[in-house]
A and B are shown apart, each in its own frame.
Chain A
Amino acid sequence: MRRAVSLYRTSVGKKFYMAVSGFILIFFLIAHMAGNLKMYAGPEAFNHYAEWLREVGYPLLPHKSALWVMRIVLLASVGIHMLSALQLYLQSRAARPIGYRQAQDLSFSYASRTMRWGGVIIAAFVVYHLLHFTTGQAHPDFRAGDAYRNVVLGFQNWWVVGFYTLTLIMVTFHLYHGLWSAFQTIGANHPKYNPIRRPLALVLALLLFAGFMSVPVGVQTGLLSLQSSIAEKEAGVFHGAPIHEGGE
C-alpha cells in the first residue's frame, strides 16, 4: 500500500493509474457493447440478459452481489481515472504559463488533443445515461424490468440519439489515442509488437463505435421496435422480468 501510494505521487505513476483504470473501463465497454447487441435477439432475450446481470453468481452469492462488486470496481476506476486526469492536467497547465504566438501541432494524432474535453463529455454522458436507463428519472416512460422497452422508447427521441452519437465519437477518439497511449504508459513496448498497437487501437475503437451505434440506429430505422413485443403481449406473453426492487 505504501508503495502504491508512493507510485501515485510521481507524475508517471498517476499516469500509470490512469492507464490501468482505462483498461478496466475498456473491458467494461466491450462487455457492455456485446450485451447491447442482445437487443437484436428480441425483448425476451434482452430482458432476460438484464435480469441475469443482477443474478450472476446466484445461488452461490446473494442476489446482486456480483453486480455490486462490478459497480464498485467501475466506480473506483472512474474515480481514479478522473482524479489523476485532473491532477495531471493542472500540473501540465502550470508548466506553460505563457503560450506561443505561433505553435504548430506536432502531435502524432488529433485524437490526443481531444482527451480532456472529450473525457468531460463522456463523464457528463455517463451521469445522464444512468438516469436514463438505470434509474429512469431522465426517461419519459420508464418501466423497471422492461429494459428492452425502455431502450426502444428512449432512442425514439432524436436528440437523445444525437447526444449518444456525439459521446460515442468522443469515446472513439478517446480509445484510439487512449489504448495506444496506455500501452506506452505501462511500458508495453517491444520492437516486435509496436507496429500493431495503433491498428489495434483503431480496430477496437471502431468496433465499439459500430456496436454501440447499431442500437439507436436500429431503433430509428425501425429494425428494433415495440411491434413484436406488443403483438406478443396481446397474445398474453409477459416480457418484463420479475421486479426485485423499485428503480433497478
Chain B
Amino acid sequence: MEFTLHVWRQSGPAAPGRFETLSVKDISEHMSFLEMLDLVNERLIAEGKEPIAFDHDCREGICGTCGLMINGVPHGPLGLTTACQLHMRHLKGAKEIWVEPWRARAFPVIKDLVVDRSALDRIIQAGGYISVRTGSAPEANSIPVKKIDADMAMDAAICIGCGACVAACPNGSAMLFTAAKVSHLGLLPQGQPERFDRVLSMVEAHDREGFGNCTNHGACQNACPKGISVDFIARLNRDLVKAALTYKPYEITAV
C-alpha cells in the first residue's frame, strides 16, 4: 500500500503543534494500523528523525490505551474496533490518512498523538467503588443477581476507558464513559449502598474536569469500540435527578 500520511506532531504540552506530511510506501495490508506506525517510526529513526509518539499497550483491543482519530473517526473506520485491531486493509483505497490526537480540554496533549486521560481516572475515583466486606471471597450464589441486571451490568462494564466517546462527541462530553461506570455498579446489589452518592459525585467530577454537556447526539455510541449504548446515559440521568431531588445521604453517627 502507498499513501500520504498526515500526522499531528507536537513536541510537548505547551508547544504549538502542526501536521507533518509523510509519503509512505511499501506497507502490507495485513499490518495493523499500529504496526504501520511502528514501521514508519523505524524509517524515521533510520533517517535520524524523531519518531511519532503514540499510546498503546495490549494491542488486542482490551486495555483502552490506544486512541487515535483516524480520518475523522475515533479508532478509524471499522466499527467496534480499537485502533490496535484495525488493519491496513480496512483503509484500502485511502490515498490520504489523517491521524490526530483526541481533542478535548480535559485531555491535554502530552506529545504528538499521546494525550493525558487521567481526567477519566479522577471520575472513577469520585465514585467508582463499592463498600466490600473484607475477608475471604463469599460463596458464589450468596448474593442473587437477576439475569437481566447481570447482563446489563456486563454490557456497561465492557467499557475500556479509551476516551473515544469524548473524542467523537461534538460537545466533548464524557457522559457515555461516566454512564457506563455509574451503571456498571449501580445495576448490581453490591453497588446499591453508594448508588446515589456515586452518580452525584461522578457527574460533579465529570463537570469539574471540563468535559462538555451531553445533548444526545449519539456520536459516542457509534464511535465506541465496545458498542456501549446511550441507554446507559438515560439511566444515569434518571439516577441523577432522583438523587438530587429525593435522596437523603446516610447520617454518619458516632459509635
Chain A interfacial positions (CB closer than 8 Å to B): 3-4, 6-7, 10-16, 88, 91-109, 112-113, 115, 177, 180-181, 183-189, 194
Contact = CB atoms under 8 A, between A and B. Distances in A.
Interface stretch (B34-42, B128-136, B137-145, B169-177): B169-177
Interface stretch (B22-30, B44-52, B56-64, B99-107): B99-107
B19 A95 contact: no
A91 B72 contact: no
B244 interface: yes
Contact of A3 (B213, B222, B244): B244
A102 B233 CA distance: 27
A194 B100 CA distance: 35
Nearest to A107: B217
16 contacts: A11-B203, A12-B175, A12-B241, A15-B213, A88-B215, A95-B211, A96-B172, A98-B103, A100-B69, A108-B217, A108-B219, A112-B217, A113-B170, A183-B234, A187-B235, A187-B239
B244 A91 contact: no
A189 B216 CA distance: 13
Interface residue SS majority, chain A = helix
Nearest to B100: A100
Interface string B168-200: 101111010000000000000000000000001
Nearest to A194: B231
Contacts of A107: 170, 217-219, 222
B238 interface: yes
A106 B168 contact: yes
Given A13-B240, A102-B71, A185-B237, A92 B216 contact: no
A103 B105 CA distance: 17
Interface in B1-32: 6, 19
Interface of B: 6, 19, 69, 71-73, 98, 100, 103-106, 168, 170-173, 175, 200, 203-204, 206-207, 210-219, 221-223, 230-231, 233-241, 244-246
A180 B215 CA distance: 11
Contact of B212 (A16, A91, A185): A91
B235 to A, nearest CB: 6
B105 A95 contact: yes
Given A92-B171, A102-B69, A194-B231, A181 B215 contact: yes
Contacts of B221: 108
A6 B244 CA distance: 7
Given A92-B215, A112-B215, A189-B235, A12 B222 contact: no
A247 B131 CA distance: 65
A97 B173 CA distance: 13
A101 B100 contact: yes
Nearest to A183: B234
Contacts of B216: 112, 177, 180-181, 184-185
A97 B105 CA distance: 6
A188 B100 contact: no
Nearest to B243: A7
A48 to B, nearest CB: 42
A189 B218 contact: no
A13 B244 contact: yes
A94 B105 CA distance: 7
**Most interface-central of A6, A11, A14, A115 (chain B CB within 10 A):** A11
B155 to A, nearest CB: 12
A118 to B, nearest CB: 12
B105 A189 contact: no
Given A99-B103, A183-B234, A106 B213 contact: no
Nearest to A182: B216
Given A95-B106, A112-B218, A16 B237 contact: yes
Nearest to A3: B245
Contacts of B214: 11-12, 15
A7 B230 CA distance: 21
B149 to A, nearest CB: 13
A87 to B, nearest CB: 9
A113 B171 CA distance: 11
B212 A95 contact: yes
Contacts of B245: 3-4, 7
Given A106-B73, A194-B231, A10 B105 contact: no
